[in-house]
Chain A
Amino acid sequence: MPHLVSRQRGLREWRLYLLIVPSLLLVGTFVLLPAVNGIYHSFSDWDGTRAQQLVGLDNFRRAFQDTILWNSFETVSILVVFNLFKMIPSILLAVLIHRLRSDRWQYAYRALMVVPMIIPGLVTLFVWKSFFDPNLGLLNRVLDLTGLKWALVSLDQRVFHWGVFFPHVPVGWLTQPELILPSLFIWGFPWIGTVGVLIYLAGLQSISQEIYEAAELDGVGSFGKFLYIELPLILTQVRLNLLLLIIATLQGYGLQLLLLGESGGPAGKGMVPGLWMYNRAFIAGEFGYACSIGMILFGFILALTIVNNRYVRVAK
């Protein structure tokens, strides 16, 4: 516990406050001020210069009728579902590594998990983008080599009639509107977050061998062990990751911006709310409207955070 300082001594020790001044100034100017400014300007018609005009709720009324914004929320909810699904491989991998009987191998794999981290996330983004290239990209090569392309084409022509896959035409992953969402799903396969795996492993470490032995005596199967022993122990981390992931997906637009450009790709299929805000502000110069889109997103995320803090209390 911090040392309690009385009001009088506090006055004498005023120099202590100097320690917090730089921090407060930085946070006040570059975090708090923009936030307040954003709230204010979401009610104004603003082109980013000093000239501005308060327009009341006009921006929000416009947002309510903005079909692009509605569609972008639909897209982002699909992406959230995708990303929830993409959490599974990391959990599985952590459990697999943890269940190895050899401590030495466990350690080796843990070290191996660090290796992908040395590639900056930025570079990974670009390398993955190159995978989607129709002519030279890896994805189409794999499809051709494994014959999956042929399977997709025949599925398309005989069963589903998507009109997306054709023989002898390279698949345009990022140019076909119908393929944008599937591309965003395939993105990052096999969806291992190595940091996540390490965190789960740390949580799993508290399980002693005796618990496994007891479970084996009771005839608990492999899946039962996962459900009753392993999952409860990493539930804290899983929940935390879940929340962080949902928030990051809701407000993220860097991936879409890099992959598809500032208008969300062909037919705007990859448009997410954050990207639409970016687009309105920096492409159309409608800073006021962009601020109100930001506020709407902000409201959603704040609500999620509050709900999480209040109701999803993690038992310690």
Chain B
Amino acid sequence: MNDHRQLAGQDRDWAKHLIIWCFVVIELLPLYLMLQGSVKDNADFLRSPWLPIVPRSWHWENWAFAFRLVLPYITNTLFVAVFSSAASLAFSIMAAYFFARYQMPFSRMLWSAFLALMLLPSVANIVPLFVLLKHLSLLNSLWALIIVGAASGQIFNVYVLRNFIEDLPRDLFEAAEIDGATHLQQIVNIVIPMSAPIIGTLSILAFLSQWNDFLLPLIVLRDRSSFTLGVGLIYLDGEYVKQWGQIMAAYFIASLPLIVIFLFSMRLFVRGLSAGAVKG
């Protein structure tokens, strides 16, 4: 469409490209430093923190060490993130279906309650929440993180999903009802397949927030064996003598699962984000 403009404007755009690249390079700097730093020992680090060293003197033992250190944390975090996002999504899809498809007695009241709760800032909650978990004897347990994670994303998810389900064609549901489908069957066979993109985006968001959380794990978890990445990395950072190579390798390994997830879902995620932005 604007081919001629492209040709005419190409030479005037170089300044913009330059600025954009500056931003991009600095933004990617942590990734680069992590990678090239992960194969150095402290002496290499002091000599040249910037440039990669020759492959012959790479310290692969950093990676072996970091892997042994971080693997249990990753398993714990995966356990928490997978279960809490799955539970959160499953329950919020059911609740969203309830609000989107039928206006039952009390629906409106419940919905207002949901909206009011969404406005509540969460900061004041952490202290009473800790005491509640203590009374439920959930301290030092990963289940505490799973349950709280499932609960905290609930309201936002229900809000987004309700809007989405309301827009699904009503004929589908009516046809299913005539065929005698129960509500759960309608959810499984109609709602979930048809709202897969938004469910995917919400799951990734839930997963990410669990992966990055350290405030709740820090006060809930006590034993090293139950540490999630958040707490584990804090303890690694607090070591007195720091082996930067090992630390950088540990950081990179901690990012690996997310990198894998993003490789598979990048398209979906970017699309969901852009669509949501335009709609909102």
Residues of A within 8 A of B (CB): 1-5, 7, 10, 13, 15-17, 19-20, 22-24, 26-27, 29-35, 37-38, 41, 48, 89, 93, 96-97, 99-103, 105, 109-112, 114-124, 126-130, 135-136, 138, 141, 189-190, 192, 194-195, 198-199, 201-203, 205-206, 209, 236-237, 240, 247, 250-251, 254, 257-258, 274, 277-278, 281-282, 287, 290-291, 294-295, 297-298, 301-302, 305-306, 309
Q: Which residues of A contact B247 (CB under 8 A)?
A: 126, 130
By secondary structure, the A interface counts as helix
Q: Which of A23, A128, A251, A291 has the most CB of B within 10 A?
A: A23
Assembled-state Cα–Cα distance A115/B172 (Å): 39
Give 13 A-B pairs besides A99-B16, A123-B251, A127-B251 with Cβ atoms closer than 8 angstroms: A5-B103, A15-B183, A23-B91, A26-B151, A30-B152, A96-B20, A100-B13, A103-B6, A116-B27, A117-B262, A127-B33, A198-B277, A309-B119
The answer to the question of B244 belonging to the interface, with a C-beta cut-off of 8 Å to chain A, is yes
Q: Which residues of A contact B226 (CB under 8 A)?
A: none
Assembled-state Cα–Cα distance A177/B5 (Å): 54
Q: Which residues of B contact A122 (CB under 8 A)?
A: 211-212, 214, 229-230, 233, 254
Q: Do residues B20 and A34 form an inter-chain contact, with CB atoms below 8 A? A: no
Q: Do residues A282 and B219 form an inter-chain contact, with CB atoms below 8 A? A: yes
Known interface pairs A38-B127, A203-B278, A290-B127; A2-B166 also in contact (CB < 8 Å)? yes
The answer to the question of B197 belonging to the interface, with a C-beta cut-off of 8 Å to chain A, is no
The 10 closest A-B pairs by CB, nearest first: A294-B124, A101-B9, A251-B123, A30-B151, A23-B95, A34-B128, A26-B151, A301-B121, A37-B128, A202-B274
Q: Do residues A120 and B166 form an inter-chain contact, with CB atoms below 8 A? A: no
Q: Which residues of A contact B125 (CB under 8 A)?
A: 31, 34-35, 38, 294
Q: Do residues B30 and A128 form an inter-chain contact, with CB atoms below 8 A? A: yes
Q: Do residues A298 and B124 form an inter-chain contact, with CB atoms below 8 A? A: yes
Which residues from 147 to 205 on chain B have a C-beta closer than 8 Å to any C-beta of chain A?
147-148, 150-152, 154-155, 158, 166, 183
Q: Which residues of B contact A10 (CB under 8 A)?
A: 104-105
Q: Do residues A31 and B16 form an inter-chain contact, with CB atoms below 8 A? A: no
Q: Which residues of B contact A19 (CB under 8 A)?
A: 94-95, 97-98, 183
The answer to the question of B112 belonging to the interface, with a C-beta cut-off of 8 Å to chain A, is no
Assembled-state Cα–Cα distance A192/B267 (Å): 21
Q: Which residues of B contact A101 (CB under 8 A)?
A: 2, 5-6, 8-10, 12-13
Q: Which residues of A contact B130 (CB under 8 A)?
A: 48, 281-282
Q: Do residues B277 and A202 form an inter-chain contact, with CB atoms below 8 A? A: yes
Q: Which residues of A contact B9 (CB under 8 A)?
A: 101-102
User: Which residue in B50, B128, B230 is a CB contact (below 8 Å) of A41?
Assistant: B128
Q: Do residues B120 and A35 form an inter-chain contact, with CB atoms below 8 A? A: yes
Q: Which residues of A contact B98 (CB under 8 A)?
A: 16-17, 19-20
Q: Do residues B147 and A96 form an inter-chain contact, with CB atoms below 8 A? A: no
Residues of B within 8 A of A (CB): 2, 5-6, 8-10, 12-13, 16-17, 19-20, 22-24, 26-28, 30-31, 33-34, 42, 45-46, 49-50, 91-92, 94-95, 97-105, 107, 110, 114, 117, 119-132, 134, 147-148, 150-152, 154-155, 158, 166, 183, 208, 211-212, 214-215, 219, 229-230, 233-234, 237, 244, 247, 251, 254-255, 258-259, 262, 266, 269-270, 273-275, 277-278, 280
Q: Which residues of A contact B121 (CB under 8 A)?
A: 247, 251, 297-298, 301-302, 305
Q: Do residues B151 and A29 form an inter-chain contact, with CB atoms below 8 A? A: yes
Closest to A290 in B: B127
Give B43 Cβ to nearest chain A Cβ, in Å: 11
Known interface pairs A112-B24, A291-B124, A294-B127; A16-B104 also in contact (CB < 8 Å)? yes
Assembled-state Cα–Cα distance A117/B273 (Å): 13
Known interface pairs A19-B94, A114-B262; A297-B147 also in contact (CB < 8 Å)? no
Assembled-state Cα–Cα distance A257/B8 (Å): 52
Q: Which residues of A contact B119 (CB under 8 A)?
A: 302, 305-306, 309
Q: Which of B10, B102, B152, B183 has the most CB of A within 10 A?
A: B102
Assembled-state Cα–Cα distance A124/B26 (Å): 13
Q: Do residues B127 and A198 form an inter-chain contact, with CB atoms below 8 A? A: no
User: Which residue in A2, A35, A100, A128 is a CB contact (below 8 Å) of B103?
Assistant: A2
Cross-chain pairs A/B with CB under 8 angstroms, 18 sampled: A4-B102, A23-B158, A27-B155, A30-B147, A35-B128, A37-B132, A96-B16, A101-B6, A116-B27, A118-B259, A121-B212, A122-B211, A138-B49, A195-B273, A206-B278, A240-B280, A281-B130, A301-B123
Q: Do residues B277 and A237 form an inter-chain contact, with CB atoms below 8 A? A: yes
User: Which residue in B28, B105, B123 is a CB contact (below 8 Å) of A298?
Assistant: B123
Q: Do residues A5 and B127 form an inter-chain contact, with CB atoms below 8 A? A: no
Q: Which residues of A contact B23 (CB under 8 A)?
A: 89, 93, 190, 192
Q: Which of B107, B126, B212, B247 has the most CB of A within 10 A?
A: B126
Known interface pairs A26-B154, A202-B277, A302-B119; A3-B28 also in contact (CB < 8 Å)? no
Q: Do residues B237 and A126 form an inter-chain contact, with CB atoms below 8 A? A: yes
Q: Which residues of A contact B183 (CB under 8 A)?
A: 15-16, 19
Q: Do residues B92 and A23 form an inter-chain contact, with CB atoms below 8 A? A: yes
Known interface pairs A31-B155, A109-B20, A118-B262; A5-B254 also in contact (CB < 8 Å)? no
Q: Which of A111, A118, A128, A247 has the most CB of B within 10 A?
A: A118
